[in-house]
């Protein structure tokens, strides 16, 4: 299972950086977690549109703006007979006008599906589950399990959802956690986003193996986030655009040794 980082900044992107997006591939199955502004520029065409499931964690612009490019691209490549299956687009049921806006796009070769806390998806060997976070619109953390490995993406959340997310992420191999804020920004402890220290508290409580920070302010030095998080949780990195993280599936290794 391979993770490619497509975007790590919010609410806007700047040269070399995009709004949130994480592309996960396992064999011929592909999952795109969020498709913020600029993320589609780091995909490979038409291959990455084959067997693609786009999962939008919540309908804030920084997390879904590029869905329209993916929809349009899917139609163009389909018309050229270069992709066989429509792309699958999963998203929350609300805000309804944003759902309708996406579903109403006429130039698309796509199928639409709703997600909620009970949704369970099986995409090739990957099982996908959801956990509601605390954020101004309906938002889900997303877990991808493959064999004995798991990746959890928090999406956006207030620290008030800490226990729920920590349980959901229990023992994960990698926790991709938003850390929009720093303690020095001076926001109150309960906000609609996390500080790097709060992200690290969740990682510690969840006993994850590694913490990967994302959702940075465009004008901040990312080292400030890792420095703040490291005071609480040691194994932490700041994600960056284009970075590839290989999550080896132990079962397959064992099989290949046999
Ligand atoms: Zn948001
Ligand atoms: Zn966001």
When pLDDT is averaged across residues 143-160 and rounded to a whole number, the result is 97
Q: Tell me the pLDDT tens digit for each residue of 34-76.
A: 999 999 999 999 999 999 999 999 999 999 999 999 999 999 9
Ligand 1 mean position, distance from CA 55 (Å): 14
Per DSSP, what are the bridge partners of residue 238? 213
Ligand 2 mean position, distance from CA 89 (Å): 18
Contacts of 244 (CB under 8 A, 6+ apart): 2, 3, 4, 5
Cβ(72)–Cβ(87) below 8 Å: no
Which structural domains are found in the chain, ordered by start? Answer: 2-248 (3.60.15.10)
Q: Tell me the pLDDT tens digit for each residue of 219-233.
A: 999 999 999 999 999
Ligand 2 mean position, distance from CA 213 (Å): 13
d(CA 213, CA 53): 23
Ligand 1 mean position, distance from CA 207 (Å): 25
Say what the pLDDT of residue 258 is. Answer: 38
Confidence of residue 249 (pLDDT cuts 50, 70, 90): confident
Say what the pLDDT of residue 196 is. Answer: 97
Ligand 2 mean position, distance from CA 96 (Å): 18
Say what the pLDDT of residue 180 is. Answer: 95
Q: Which ligand is nearest to the CA of 192?
A: 1
Cβ(32)–Cβ(67) below 8 Å: no
Say what the pLDDT of residue 52 is. Answer: 98
Q: Which two tokens stand for residue 52?
A: 């693609």
Ligand 1 mean position, distance from CA 58 (Å): 7
Q: Tell me the pLDDT tens digit for each residue of 109-150.
A: 999 999 999 999 999 999 999 999 999 999 999 999 999 999
Largest pairwise CA distance in the chain? 55
186 C-beta neighbours (distance < 10 Å), count: 7
Residue 189 confidence (pLDDT) above 70: no
Ligand 2 mean position, distance from CA 147 (Å): 29
Ligand 2 mean position, distance from CA 15 (Å): 18
Q: Using only the alpha carbons of the chain, give its radius of gyration.
A: 17
Say what the pLDDT of residue 133 is. Answer: 98
Cβ(131)–Cβ(107) below 8 Å: no
Q: Which ligand is nearest to the CA of 215?
A: 2
Ligand 1 mean position, distance from CA 135 (Å): 7
Q: Which ligand is nearest to the CA of 216?
A: 2
Contacts of 79 (CB under 8 A, 6+ apart): none
Say what the pLDDT of residue 148 is. Answer: 93
Cβ(60)–Cβ(36) below 8 Å: no
* CA atoms within 13 A of residue 171's CA, in its CB half-sphere: 3
């Amino acid at each position: 299972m391979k993770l490619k980082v497509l975007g790590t900044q919010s609410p806007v992107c700047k040269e070399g950086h995009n709004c949130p997006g994480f592309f996960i591939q396992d064999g011929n199955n592909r999952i795109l977690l969020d498709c913020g502004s600029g993320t589609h520029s780091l995909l490979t065409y038409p291959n990455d549109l084959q067997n693609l499931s786009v999962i939008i964690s919540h309908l804030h612009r920084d997390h879904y703006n590029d869905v329209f490019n993916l929809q349009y691209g899917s139609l163009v490549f389909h018309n050229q007979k270069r992709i066989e299956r429509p792309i699958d687009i999963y998203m929350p049921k609300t805000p309804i006008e944003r759902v309708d806006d996406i579903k109403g796009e006429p130039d698309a070769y796509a199928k639409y599906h709703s997600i909620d806390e009970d949704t369970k998806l099986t995409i090739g060997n990957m099982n996908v589950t959801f956990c509601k976070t605390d954020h101004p619109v309906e938002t889900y953390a997303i877990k991808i399990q493959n064999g004995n490995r798991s990746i959890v993406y928090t999406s956006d959340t207030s620290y008030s959802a800490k226990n729920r997310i920590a349980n959901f992420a229990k023992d994960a191999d990698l926790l991709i956690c938003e850390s929009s804020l720093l303690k020095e920004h001076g926001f109150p402890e309960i906000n609609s986003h996390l500080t790097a220290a709060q992200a690290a508290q969740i990682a510690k409580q969840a006993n994850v193996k590694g913490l990967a920070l994302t959702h940075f302010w465009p004008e901040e030095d990312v080292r400030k986030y890792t420095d703040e998080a490291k005071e609480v949780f040691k194994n932490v990195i700041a994600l960056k655009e284009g970075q590839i993280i290989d999550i080896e599936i132990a079962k397959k290794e064992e099989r290949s040794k046999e």
